[in-house]
Copies of this chain bind each other. A is one copy, B any other.
Amino acid sequence: MTSSDKLSVKQARQAEAIGQQATLQGWVRTRRDSKGGFSFLEINDGSCLSNIQIIVDADLPNYESDVKRLSAGCSISVRGEVKESGGRGQATEMLAKELIVHGWADPESYPLQKKRHSMEKLREWAHLRPRTNTFGAVMRVRNRIGRSIHDFFQERDFLYTHTPIITASDCEGAGEMFRVTTIDPAMPPKDDKGEIDYTQDFFDRPSYLTVSGQLEGEIYATALGKIYTFGPTFRAENSNTSRHLAEFWMVEPEMAFCELTDNMDLAEAFLKRVVADVRQDCEEDLQFFQDRIDDTVHESLANVADKPFERVTYTTAIELLENADAKFEFPVKWGVDLQAEHERYLTEQHFKSPVILYDYPATIKPFYMRVNDEDEQGRRTVRAMDVLVPRVGEIIGGSQREERLEVLEARMAEQSLDPEEYWWYIDLRRYGTVPHSGFGLGLERMVQFVTGMSNIRDVIPFPRTPGNADF
């Protein structure tokens, strides 16, 4: 069996393949034996959601010894002619001339039998779940989103920049962080005061996993103009919810000579592009999610693709919420952080479209966001923006950064941050400072939005949560 005539299942399902001699390789999903002296196999190779049907005639030499023993999960190569199919919903099928079994899958022990398994159970089988329809579809969509992210920024001449994963600085002074260490906690080195001697740790000081590449991204944006990061970030929060992961992937563009309005324009164009690409290239997978997972998938995506995003200030949003004909668990008033219920009300009920909120109270936002002048009520806001989408709520958070040295230093003092720890960040304002902006998109939230998958653990290959780091 040569490999030069290999086709993927996706290729073999195209009408153009009809009449070709080809080799298909994949995993058996089902076998059905006909009384007429042949068998039907459904095989899948991950190239698309659909299987292709293989018709195996009983006169194949290994029909009794091999073909009749095939069951779900077995791996095979099969050679034959691609033919037009008489079956409903399938354009093509293959008539097998030769079939080789690479690996068996004992039906007594192979976990993925035809019956449906719960998402919880499949998480325990993280090494097998990509063989299911749902996780295959999630992975193809996740891949398409990742590709789209790179294409979008590369076409706009952004430089893909790798900010550090291990860092001795605590970006934002916020968030619980994982320590990275080579110290043996059973025998830690101590100094003469009896305290842990971190000068003997690998990096000579306490070091952590990054919670964001933003501050380092600003270094590169203020040197090279436009950059983006796309990498893993970490939170050591002990929260066992369907919305949180200890390890997740984030995209963070950062642009020099860029103010908040340009930042909003970019975020909107970015989401629209990702959605357009997925709709174009993952039609079959999206239909699967619409049918099996969440019947608002098509509508949510159309919403992002077709409508201009609403843009309203935080202050306006608070007024809308105060006057809303809706009951909220958490009361709203100017100065509070919005809860998911408020965000969803705005995007799902009030505007029925994606919304960008901007100009948030300075008191609820980090030190690096650019400060606006006080309004007539003496309220101070910063140039923050959050993009909200139906079902998921906040999907992007960003801001224009404070580029004025004195204002930044004053904000750091307000928040009791030690300027010495941020010496390099402050230097960016000391030497050739420029207006600049950026935002962050959590990849998993985006995959959830696109697929309708409700638990964030089911849109990443190997979810890390409290108590879970297997595989």
Contact = CB atoms under 8 A, between A and B. Distances in A.
Contacts of A3: 257, 262
A245 to B, nearest CB: 11
Interface in A330-389: none
Nearest to A221: B46
A204 B467 contact: yes
A102 interface: yes
Given A127-B428, A139-B220, A471 B256 contact: no
A391 interface: no
Interface stretch (A174-182, A268-276, A407-415): A174-182
Given A161-B139, A163-B461, A433-B102, A219 B146 contact: no
A195 B185 CA distance: 10
A236 B3 CA distance: 41
A103 B431 contact: yes
Q: How many copies does the complex hold?
A: 2
A462 B219 CA distance: 11
A396 to B, nearest CB: 20
Contacts of A196: 185-186
A431 B461 contact: no
Nearest to A232: B165
Interface string A140-163: 101100110010001001011111
A8 interface: yes
A298 interface: no
A161 B461 contact: yes
B224 A164 contact: no
B160 A147 contact: yes
Contacts of A167: 462, 469, 471
A361 B225 CA distance: 50
A159 B139 contact: yes
Interface stretch (A52-60, A71-79, A286-294, A315-323): A71-79
A202 B220 contact: no
A224 B45 CA distance: 6
Contacts of A176: 182
Contacts of A27: 223, 432
Contacts of A254: none
Contact of A185 (B75, B185, B203, B403): B185
A280 to B, nearest CB: 14
Interface string A416-439: 000000001101111111110000
A203 B464 contact: yes
Contacts of A6: 257
Given A157-B47, A223-B46, A225-B47, A164 B247 contact: yes
Contacts of A157: 8, 10, 47
Contacts of A467: 202-204
Contacts of A127: 219, 424-425, 427-428
Interface stretch (A84-92, A128-136, A306-314): A128-136
A434 B25 contact: yes
Interface string A76-113: 01000000000000000000000000111110011000
Contact of A162 (B216, B234, B461): B461
A469 B46 contact: no
Contact of A183 (B104, B185, B195): B185
Contacts of A160: 142-143, 146-147
Given A146-B160, A257-B77, A203 B462 contact: no
Most chain B CB atoms below 10 A, which of A164, A185, A209, A429: A185
Contacts of A234: 165-166
A75 B181 contact: no
Given A6-B257, A136-B223, A168-B470, 17 more contacts: A8-B157, A45-B225, A46-B159, A46-B224, A47-B157, A77-B257, A102-B433, A105-B430, A105-B432, A127-B428, A130-B219, A147-B150, A162-B232, A167-B471, A169-B471, A180-B180, A182-B236
7 closest A-B pairs by CB: A46-B224, A103-B433, A130-B223, A203-B469, A127-B424, A75-B432, A105-B431
20 contacts: A8-B157, A45-B225, A102-B435, A127-B427, A136-B223, A139-B220, A139-B224, A142-B160, A146-B160, A147-B154, A147-B160, A161-B461, A166-B469, A169-B470, A178-B180, A179-B182, A203-B467, A216-B461, A216-B462, A219-B471
